[in-house]
Amino acid sequence: MTYETRSIRRLVLGIFSIALGIVSLVAFFSVTYIAGIGFLGGFYGLILIALGMGLILPKKEGKKEGTQ
């Protein structure tokens, strides 16, 4: 099995996205305390972390069955 290597650009964007998601989750608590609307920041942070993981992790190849 051969795995495709991720480009440097995808790795950098993935790490940047994860970092922004973590900052958003940290800010979640302060915004919730001040304004009470921090749940939007929490969802945004989780989405950014998921996006970053999707950019970094390799694709899973599906099973290809040949017809004979």
Residue 25's pLDDT is what? Answer: 81
Question: pLDDT per residue over 4-38, tens digit each?
Answer: 566 889 999 999 999 998 888 887 766 665 655 66
Residue 18's pLDDT is what? Answer: 93
- In contact, 25 and 46? CB cutoff 8 Å: yes
Confidence of residue 1 (pLDDT cuts 50, 70, 90): very low
The model scores a pTM over 0.85:
no
- What is the 3-state secondary structure of 26-57? HHHHHHHHHCCCCHHHHHHHHHHHHHHHHHHC
Per the model's pLDDT, the better-predicted residue between 55 and 27 turns out to be 55
